[in-house]
Structure 1
Amino acid sequence: MPRTTESPAAPRVSPPDLPDVFEPAAPTRSGDLLAASLDLTASADLAYASLEQCTVRADADEVDLTGATILDVAMDGVRIASLKMRDAGIRRLRISGGRIGTLDLSGARINELELRDLRIDYLNLGAVRATDVEISGCRIRAIDLPQAEVTRARFTATSSDEVDPRGMKAKDVDLRGLDALAYLDANSLRGTTLTGFQVQQLAPVIAVGLGIQIKE
Structure 2
Amino acid sequence: MAASAGRTTGATGANKGKKDTIAAARRPEVRLPPLVPYDGEGLEPDGDYDGVRFDGVDLTDASGRGARFMDCALDGCTLDRAELARARFIDAVLTGVRGVGTDLAEASLRDVEVVDARLGGVQLHGAVLERVVVRGGKIDYLNLRKARLKDVVFEGCVLSEPDFGDAHLVRVEFRDCVLKRAEFSGARMESVDLRAVAELDIARGVDRLAGAVISPLQLMELAPAFAAQIGVRVEA
Unmatched tracts of structure 2, length 5 or more: 1-17
Report the alpha carbon displacement of residue 135 of structure 1 after superposing the two structures with TM: 0.6
Q: Deviations over 1:44-78 (max 9, x none)?
A: 22111111111113124222210112111111111
Q: TM-score, normalised by structure 1?
A: 0.92
Q: TM-score, normalised by structure 2?
A: 0.85
Does 2:111 correspond to 1:85? no
Q: Deviations over 1:107-140 (max 9, x none)?
A: 0122111111111111111111111001111011
Equivalent in 22, 41, 46 of residue 8 of structure 1: 22
| In 1, Cα distance between equivalents of 2:152 and 2:145 | 15
Larger radius of gyration: 2
Relative contact order, CA 8 A, sep 6+: which one is greater?
2
Contact 1:40 1:56 in 2 (8 A): no
Report the alpha carbon displacement of residue 89 of structure 1 after superposing the two structures with TM: 1.8
Contact 2:35 2:53 in 1 (8 A): no
Q: Could you say which residue in structure 2 is the equivalent of 1:22?
A: 36
Contact 1:22 1:54 in 2 (8 A): no
Does 2:218 correspond to 1:198? yes
Q: How many equivalent pairs are there?
A: 213
Q: Could you say which residue in structure 1 is the equivalent of 2:68?
A: 50
| In 2, Cα distance between equivalents of 1:87 and 1:7 | 32
Report the alpha carbon displacement of residue 86 of structure 1 after superposing the two structures with TM: 0.8
| In 2, Cα distance between equivalents of 1:123 and 1:42 | 18
Whichever residue aligns with residue 136 of structure 2, its letter is D
Contact 2:194 2:212 in 1 (8 A): yes
SS in 1 for 2:191: strand
Whichever residue aligns with residue 35 of structure 1, its letter is G
| In 2, Cα distance between equivalents of 1:185 and 1:42 | 34
Trace 1:125-204 onto structure 2 (pairs within 5 A): 125-178=144-197, 179-204=199-224
SS in 2 for 1:43: coil
Equivalent in 49, 55, 77 of residue 33 of structure 1: 49
Whichever residue aligns with residue 68 of structure 2, its letter is S
